[in-house]
Structure 1
């Protein structure tokens, strides 16, 4: 376990699963200096922390994650787990992460008393899709919804802009071109496909973590921007 300090009494506690990924790292970086939040990460291995980070990383095999999630004593679960078919190596290995592991994490959170979950999904998620990635995202959205969280926020971002540890040449090229497409092409009903920086997505997560209204909420690009405006970001 890594621990670089403690947060003030009454800070909102977020259990972050997927701390080593691009979104997770943005959540960690975005939490720096915020006295209203405490992020507790759950990961398979030690996670690099930015200078000045004051948070805990609870480390263990995935089989040990349920007690680690309970130990986080969090009010909100933030699930940023995800891989790609190419990185996983097979359809089954991909689904084992993006569906099976995410569902086990969500079940562990419910068992530990967490009633608010924020799930990072993808634009175009659809159980009826012929695309494995989008179909799996749709399947896990539905499965998590059935667990009965008091509040479930599903984020469906378009292309994520930011630095990834692994190389994705086509995605890197798209990150350069997408701001132009966002401004010129992706308007109206196509605005949901707009790109978003991972730092901005982290701000969306922080904003939604403070929401109290019960229910299931799906946030595509415009809805995420509204969440930021409500929070004054």
Structure 2
């Protein structure tokens, strides 16, 4: 089967890797990118739609595909306003899933975070947990939640803390054994590969993948 897919967050670390993998896949017929700003990608498979995410309903007729991959995410430095932060990490993905369902979407793949829990005292993990809970209530035929740990990869934006953490994680990874393996850093490209690999299996149900399992699926 050749799939018609939608990516949200294609300019990010995981989303850009996912886009490259999907372009190469013979099982993907058409890729629609929902973007704030054009990436100027020239490929016969790829169609860009520049949208205002605050008015997502106005683009509902264009959010039409077999599979939606949601790689949206922000940081406190990019979205210091808590309301905007909540929009990007919870409201946009949730609205996207609802519109996709209305238009016949069969699969929804979303990037969350290791440790996500609506009961967490950490605001970031709490928000991710709330999103997971709300998505599960929608009864999506095939829902896939990816919970990676610290991501490895070259970002376009400058993130000083991550530059410091990368070499630290490389030192820590070998000693994180047993149940602690989930906390080893993971390549963004591995998360992208796992997302693509799971989407072409036509699985039914709700699946949550912690970081260690994501690596195994890549």
**TM-score for both structures, normalised by structure 2:** 0.91
**Per the alignment, do residues 64 and 94 of structure 1 end up closer, same or farther by CA in structure 2, a change over 3 Å counting?**
closer
Q: Secondary structure at the match of 1:32?
A: helix
Deviation at 1:53, TM superposition (A): 7.3
**Per the alignment, do residues 59 and 52 of structure 1 end up closer, same or farther by CA in structure 2, a change over 3 Å counting?**
closer
Structure 2 unmatched runs, 5+: none
Tell me how far apart the structure 2 counterparts of residues 203 and 48 of structure 1 sit (CA, whole Å): 23
Q: Secondary structure at the match of 1:225?
A: helix
Tell me how far apart the structure 1 counterparts of residues 16 and 183 of structure 2 sit (CA, whole Å): 23
**TM-score for both structures, normalised by structure 1:** 0.85
What does residue 208 of structure 1 align with? 198
Task: Trace 1:149-168 onto structure 2 (pairs within 5 A).
Answer: 149-168=140-159
Q: Secondary structure at the match of 2:98?
A: helix
What is the CA RMSD across the aligned residues, in angstroms?
1.9
What does residue 45 of structure 1 align with? 37
8 Å contact 2:63–2:99 — kept in the other structure?
no
More displaced 10-residue stretch of structure 1: 30-39 or 154-163: 30-39
8 Å contact 1:20–1:48 — kept in the other structure?
no
8 Å contact 1:159–1:193 — kept in the other structure?
yes
Deviation at 1:30, TM superposition (A): 2.1
| Count of aligned pairs between the two proteins | 217
What does residue 222 of structure 1 align with? 212
More displaced 10-residue stretch of structure 1: 11-20 or 25-34: 25-34
Kindly provide the CA deviation profile for residues 62-92 of structure 1, in whole angstroms up to 9, marking residues without a partner as x.
2454464643531111000110123201222
Q: Secondary structure at the match of 1:141?
A: helix
Moved over 6 A (4+): none
Kindly provide the CA deviation profile for residues 17-68 of structure 1, in whole angstroms up to 9, marking residues without a partner as x.
111222111112223332212322111220253x767411111212454464
Tell me how far apart the structure 2 counterparts of residues 227 and 81 of structure 1 sit (CA, whole Å): 21
Q: Secondary structure at the match of 2:191?
A: helix
Kindly provide the CA deviation profile for residues 152-207 of structure 1, in whole angstroms up to 9, marking residues without a partner as x.
110000111112222111112212232332222x2211111121111111111110
Tell me how far apart the structure 2 counterparts of residues 33 and 133 of structure 1 sit (CA, whole Å): 33
8 Å contact 2:186–2:215 — kept in the other structure?
no
**Per the alignment, do residues 215 and 162 of structure 1 end up closer, same or farther by CA in structure 2, a change over 3 Å counting?**
same
